[in-house]
Amino acid sequence: MGDAGHQIIAVADAAEMAATAAQRIIARIDANDGRIAICLSGGSSPKQLYRLLASEAYRRLLPWHRIHWFVGDERFVPVNSDLSNMGVARRMLLDSRAPASHIHPVPTDGANPDAGAERYARELQSFYGADELRHGRPLFDLVLLGAGTDGHTASLFPGDPALDERERWVVGVPKADLEPFVPRVTLTLPALGACHEMLFEVAGSDKRAILTRLLNGENLPANRARSGEGTTVWLVDRAALPEGFRSS
Ligand code: 6PG
């Protein structure tokens, strides 16, 4: 992180982070007058953004009939569980606005995460119209991500062989290294990177230590995730920024 192709934007707090993220999403949407694909993240960081996009002011700015919504990773739990990433996005933002056919949850009703991963990969490939990602034809307009205190992103945890996956678009993760300790399904780095913009939201003083390691270029999942087609932007709030850091 911090090298060419990575932009770090320092924001004052979670409110400014949500507003900046919303503006970047709208800029991406305005840059594409066709079908749009947004890949959402899990965890707590996107919740303020969901609330903002659900507000009267922003709701009218979004061309809901043109936007398809995916998630970068999912906890292998029922969609009505509080732990469900798409469940949170649906309850806070999508259900009363996006056409049901435009909401693409990870199937978590199957036998195991691998089965869910295979079905989601097929759904992404059918949406994309091919089963191989092509340089110059991104799958997503924007991919939203967070970073865990261990440096994981989506459900790609440090040391996990899934980090080196080059063929499969989605994999099952039987064991999570951090709370919630439930099995996961996650997109792989090639699929996450097939985007015009990769947008990280990192907030809170509990992220300062890992951010220092990421800024020092440590080989951690969140540092390996980057847009292969466009820009990778890190929105970082003041509480998470290491002392004396200057944003680029
Ligand atoms: C998940 C997420 C995960 C999250 C980070 C940051 O399913 O848990 O996708 O990758 O983005 O753990 O989480 P917070 O935003 O809650 O700090």
153 lines ligand 1 (CB under 6 A): yes
User: Which positions ≥6 away from 71 have C-beta within 8 Å?
Assistant: 39, 40, 41, 42, 85, 86, 89, 104, 105, 106
Q: Is the CB of residue 108 below 6 angstroms from any atom belonging to ligand 1?
A: no
Q: pLDDT per residue over 55-78, tens digit each? A: 998 988 999 999 999 999 999 999
Quickly count: other Cβ atoms within 10 Å of residue 47's Cβ.
15
Report residue 212's pLDDT band, with 50, 70 and 90 as the boundaries: very high
- For 166-184, how does the pLDDT look when each residue is reduced to its tens digit (9 = 90+)? 999 999 999 998 999 999 9
Q: What is the pLDDT of residue 205?
A: 95
Cβ neighbours for 9, distance < 8 A, ≥ 6 positions apart: 20, 233, 234, 235, 236, 247
**Ligand 1 centroid distance, CA of 151 (Å):** 10
pTM of the model: 0.96
Q: What is the pLDDT of residue 5?
A: 63
Q: How far is the CA of 136 from the centre of ligand 1 (A)?
A: 28
Which residue lies with its CA nearest to atom 10 of ligand 1?
154
